[in-house]
């Protein structure tokens, strides 16, 4: 094959993301290939082993772990899950976390969609400045404003209230969500708006019926990507939630680690319970997570 055709072939490859794989002759493993493979396997093991150990140990008894720190869960013992879920109130924490996460992600996505649409379809300095203000939230350590937030909610009797967490996380999601959504709205051709206008649609109808369906992939990215930090956040509930019945999972875990210090099996089960939803989300929405992490990379 001449060099010229090779270069051309490569170009078509970069354009089509997944070229139909032509049957290639099996390549003999080179030394470099072997080294790179073993490095990847080694690091993948370093990366995943602690999480596997967490799951595996949650299926063993504490006594078993004490006598044999490196054993396997044979036969698996599920009693510590029951203990964590019911006796250690993980059920309550879990339900609270789901409520807060779903509520705040919906809130921040809804308000960010509206704002992002406005940012993409206006051109005055005023809106540019507002967008800059929102974006600055990506770099500001906003959690340091916890004291005034605490006093504000306290004076309204809203500490230990899950709704206050929903509003706070809703606000915290705005910088990232408007950033991703506005860049999507900007890619939509202005002719769409013109056509909608000619058909007599007002700005809201244009937003709702024309634009919204087109930015669905971005909405999925924003939802999935905000789910993770909200589900994991520990700082706000640690300070704002005093009532144990209102604990979310992360604060619940700190209390649980104090109380069940020696009950290793239950501790591992609790950690696993807090992690399962994330793994599920990650496995079904890898694409959205990756595009969220790399948002803005494709210039």
Q: Per CB under 8 A, which of residues 116..175 are in contact with another protein?
A: 117-124, 126-128, 130-135, 137-149, 151-152, 167-168, 170-172, 174
Instruction: List C-alpha distances in Å: 61 to 56, 89, 252, 258, 263.
Output: 11, 20, 22, 19, 9
Residue 293 within binding range of another protein, rule CB under 8 A:
yes
Question: Residue 243 in contact with residue 160, Cβ under 8 Å?
Answer: yes
Residue 200 within binding range of another protein, rule CB under 8 A:
no
Residue 39 within binding range of another protein, rule CB under 8 A:
yes
Q: How many residues bind another protein (CB under 8 A)?
A: 114
In angstroms, rounded to a whole number, what is the distance separating the alpha carbons of residues 280 and 43? 22
In angstroms, rounded to a whole number, what is the distance separating the alpha carbons of residues 18 and 31? 27
Residue 210 within binding range of another protein, rule CB under 8 A:
no
> Which stretch in 33-41, 75-83, 86-94, 210-218 sits in contact with another protein by CB under 8 A?
33-41
In angstroms, rounded to a whole number, what is the distance separating the alpha carbons of residues 284 and 273? 18
Quick note: the x/- pattern for another protein over 220-249, rule CB under 8 A, is --------x--xx-xx---x---------x
> Which stretch in 72-80, 87-95, 215-223, 269-277 sits in contact with another protein by CB under 8 A?
269-277
In angstroms, rounded to a whole number, what is the distance separating the alpha carbons of residues 203 and 14? 39
Question: Residue 108 in contact with residue 226, Cβ under 8 Å?
Answer: yes
Positions in 2-21 near another protein (CB under 8 A): 3, 6-7, 10-11, 13-14
């Amino acid at each position: 094959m001449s060099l010229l055709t090779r270069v051309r072939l490569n170009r078509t490859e970069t354009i089509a993301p997944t070229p139909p794989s032509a049957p290639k002759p099996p390549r003999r493993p080179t030394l470099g290939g072997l080294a790179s493979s073993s490095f990847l396997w080694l690091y993948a093991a370093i990366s995943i082993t602690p999480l596997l150990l967490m799951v595996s140990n949650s299926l063993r008894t504490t006594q078993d772990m004490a006598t044999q720190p490196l054993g396997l869960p044979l036969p698996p013992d599920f009693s510590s899950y029951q203990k964590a879920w019911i006796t250690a109130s993980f059920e309550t924490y879990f339900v609270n976390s789901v409520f807060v996460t779903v509520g705040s992600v919906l809130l921040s996505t809804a308000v960010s969609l509206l704002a992002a649409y406005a940012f993409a379809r206006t051109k005055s300095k005023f809106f540019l400045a507002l967008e800059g203000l929102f974006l600055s939230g990506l770099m500001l350590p906003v959690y340091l404003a916890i004291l005034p937030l605490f006093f504000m909610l306290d004076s309204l009797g809203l500490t230990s209230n899950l709704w206050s967490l929903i509003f706070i996380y809703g606000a915290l999601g705005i910088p990232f969500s408007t950033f991703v959504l506005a860049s999507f709205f900007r890619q939509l051709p202005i002719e769409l708006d013109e056509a909608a206008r000619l058909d007599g649609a007002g700005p809201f109808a244009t937003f709702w019926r024309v634009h919204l369906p087109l930015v669905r992939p971005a909405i999925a990215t924003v939802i999935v990507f905000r789910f993770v930090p909200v589900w994991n956040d520990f700082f706000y509930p640690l300070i704002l939630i005093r009532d144990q019945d209102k604990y979310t999972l992360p604060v619940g875990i700190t209390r649980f680690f104090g109380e069940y210090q020696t009950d290793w099996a239950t501790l591992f089960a609790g950690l696993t319970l807090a992690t399962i939803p994330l793994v599920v989300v990650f496995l079904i929405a890898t694409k959205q997570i990756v595009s969220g992490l790399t948002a803005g990379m494709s210039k």
